[in-house]
Structure 1
Amino acid sequence: MELTSFMKNKALFLDRDGIINLDHGYVYKIEDFEFTQGIFELVSYFVKHDFLIFIVTNQSGIGRGYYTAEDFNTLTSWMLSKFEEHHITIQEVYHCPHTPDAQCDCRKPKIGMIETCLKQYNVDLNQSWLIGDKPSDIQLALNAKIGKSIAISETRLSGSTYTFPNIQTCQEMITSIKI
């Protein structure tokens, strides 16, 4: 057996709304989806450092009936194609379709989406990162014991390793951080 089969992968876990795209509230149409400035460059930096890329996103609009799982899947396919155009492969998109009052294990900050990822991929959480913009994202990183987290927020989110006001600034500053 090769040595590489024993090695675990570093992963970058990305929230979607507010990180990959501007959060206009329940975004499910391609025409309403607007990528954040610097997101492709930021993710490319992690890819160049041998990180697998995953998206973990709460999508309660499905559970609330605002849009369907098919709507979400259509938008997700389009979004992934835009990442591919930038030579970025997103390994998986994990989503929770439930409302906040549902008793599920997948809604952030619960760790169900991360547990599913660990069953499918050989990931070393201690060497991994999460980027999010809400307290539930940073709490997910803490709950799942993900090594480092970046909050995209005007104010520091409790528990985050780093905080930047926007993706563009994060992308500009990340090169000075050892990942």
Structure 2
Amino acid sequence: MNVGIFLDRDGVINEVLSHRVKFVNKPKDFYLLDGVGAAIKRFNKAGYKVFVVTNQGGIGLGYMKESMLDKVHNKMKDDLAEYGASVEAISYCPHKPHAGCACRKPEPQMILDLAKKYHVDVGESYMVGDRAPDIEAGKKAGAKTVLVGSRKEDNVEADLQFADLLAFAKWLIP
């Protein structure tokens, strides 16, 4: 069985609600956060399967089309490749917030589907996020949970907490 690192996208991999970008609806709005390329490369070299699990309610709300999301994700892959880093797969929920679907975090379906497809032992894996729905989805899936960033989240009880993804990677892989 493989061990996975499941990453939320906005706020973990890329900037969101920053001085440069509010939401990432186009490739030009995508900026890797500092240290992300190095962190993912570290996971890759250590043999972890790296996945992105992201809510993309902007599709359901009509702010972007799936074809544009594909372009954003291609930019993310290209930006990561500059660091020698890569992700195994990306899963996203295109539904509106409060749609009641099984795939939108805090529900665990994206994690569980990827785990099944890629033979990942969820209990040995990590879900990394910057918000409560990410941590809740990880817990529901049975993964260890990691909260990153400085966003103040009430009632978030992650197993681990770090300033950013690179700090977590350095802790996990000294």
| Counterpart position of 2:4 | 11
Preserved contact between residue 96 and residue 107 of structure 1 (Cα < 8 Å): yes
**Is residue 2:83 matched to residue 1:70?**
no
Of 30, 36, 40, the match for 2:37: 40
Residue deviations 1:19-49 (CA, integer Å, cap 9, x gap): 1111134312122111101111111222222
TM-score, normalised by the number of residues in structure 2: 0.88
In structure 2, list runs of 5 or more residues that go unmatched: none
- Higher mean C-alpha deviation, range 147-156 or range 104-113: 147-156
| Counterpart position of 2:162 | 164
Output the CA distance in 2 between the equivalents of 1:66 and 1:148.
30
**Is residue 2:170 matched to residue 1:175?**
yes
Q: Does the C-alpha gap of structure 1 residues 83 and 174 become closer, same or farther in structure 2, counting only changes over 3 Å?
A: closer
Preserved contact between residue 5 and residue 126 of structure 2 (Cα < 8 Å): yes
Query: Identity of paired residues, percent?
Result: 31
| Bigger Rg, structure 1 or 2 | 1
TM-score, normalised by the number of residues in structure 1: 0.85
Aligned length, in residue pairs:
169
Output the CA distance in 1 between the equivalents of 2:168 and 2:152.
17
Instruction: Please give the secondary structure, in 1, of the residue aligned with 2:72.
Output: helix
- Aligned CA RMSD, in angstroms, stands at 1.9
- Higher mean C-alpha deviation, range 40-49 or range 126-135: 40-49
Preserved contact between residue 26 and residue 61 of structure 1 (Cα < 8 Å): no
| Counterpart position of 1:27 | 24
